[in-house]
Structure 1
Amino acid sequence: METSKVIHAIYTDDDVLMNAVKTVRSEKHHIEEIYTPFPVHGLDKAMGLAPTRLAITAFLYGCLGLAVAIWMMDFIMIKDWPQDIGGKPSFSFLENLPAFVPIMFELTVFFSAHLMVITFYMRSRLWPFKSAENPDPRTTDDHFLMEITVRNNEEALATLLKSTGAVEINIVDKNEDAH
């Protein structure tokens, strides 16, 4: 049976937290999650997290938006319903390209932005009406919480965390919190 106990180490300073993360990782302990009231620069690297691939998806979504814009303008303005606007007939897409550039730009940004938000929410598992998973409400104000999985090493881990500057250490059973 897999253990569901975790240690919550609470810190009151982000610099102390950064040093604690480096110390805990150097001791080969796995940090499950860190809850902070604001973004802490360099925390992802200190935790050993892989770089995000969201920028790649943003580029792909932008390319999709550009392709949709080109197809849409070619179909609507050239093939389906060509119009004589200001004395300039729509004979071909390339002849009208300068007029289409703003539309292409806007749809590129629109697709990239909207699909990135949807991707971020899905990747973060943030569904509508989802209840918060924050283990301690103080982390939305002025405290930092490091969550570490316990593997029959509670005392040694608690001693290590105290030495890193944790102001409070709690051992929590995640199964009890889920019910």
Structure 2
Amino acid sequence: MEASKVIHAIYTDDDILMSAVKSVKAQKHHIEEIYTPFPVHGLDKAMGLAPTRIAITAFLYGLVGLVVSVVMMDYIMIEDWPQDIGGKPSFSYLENMPAFVPIMFELTVFFAAHLMVITFYLRSRMWPFKKAENPDPRTTDDHFLMEIAVHGNTDELENLLKETGAVEINIIDKEDAH
């Protein structure tokens, strides 16, 4: 059954990979995944992936950190245990806010950074002790792999990939690939 098969095209140069992705997309083939040893600038746009919304979550996590810092400092330094530090009594939060700015900044960054890492791991399904899903170990060193689903067009795809500069083309069962 050809529907469960994929073609793995291996490239040795990121510039050749980028032009190959553009050629494959121009021929209306669907690229399942691309494995690279390092991030390739512009590859997401060439593949037609939607822009990420992770920056929005970073901003929201920073706001959470800012709110937590303001509430925490107001409660601790003004309500719960007010102290006269250096002759400056703690009558209100606004009078003492300039002294609290570094804490507000640090907690904003702390919340944004830590919650972003957690979000990244959850979104990419990278659990602790998860087995790697890399189909070819060479893609962690110096090779690039393009995975394309086969739908009865094996010869056409192989010819197209050879023209784009693939150094190796393998047809693999999807169940065996991962």
TM-score normalised to structure 1 length? 0.96
Match of 1:168 in 2: 168
SS in 1 for 2:41: coil
Q: 1:2: Cα distance to partner?
A: 8.9
Q: Equivalent residues in 2 for 1:109-128 (5 A)?
A: 109-128=109-128
Root-mean-square deviation over aligned CA pairs? 1.3
CA 1:155/1:32 → structure 2, altered by over 3 Å: closer, same or farther? same
Counterpart-to-counterpart distance in 2, 1:145 and 1:176: 16
Q: 2:93 maps to which residue?
A: 93
Q: What stretches of structure 1 move > 3 A for 4+ residues in a row?
A: none
Matched residue SS, 2:3: coil
**Quick one: percent identity of the two aligned structures?**
80
- Aligned equivalents of 1:56, 1:3: Cα separation in 2: 38
Aligned to 2:138: 138
Count, aligned residues: 178
Question: 1:171 & 1:111 partners in 2: Cα distance?
Answer: 45
Structure 2's unaligned 5+ residue stretches are none
Matched residue SS, 1:3: helix
Gaps of 5+ in 1: none
**Corresponding residue for residue 55 of structure 1:** 55
The amino acid across from 1:27 in the alignment is Q
Q: In structure 2, what is the Cα distance between the partners aligned to 1:95 and 1:75? A: 14
1:84 and 2:51 correspond = no
TM-score between the two structures when normalised by the length of structure 2? 0.97
* Distance in 2 between residues matched to 1:134 and 1:102, nearest whole Å: 43
Distance 1:19 1:104 in 2: 47
| 1:37 aligned partner | 37
User: Aligned pair 1:6/2:6, yes or no?
Assistant: yes
Q: Deviations over 1:71-97 (max 9, x none)?
A: 000011111111111221110000000
Deviation at 1:3, TM superposition (A): 2.4
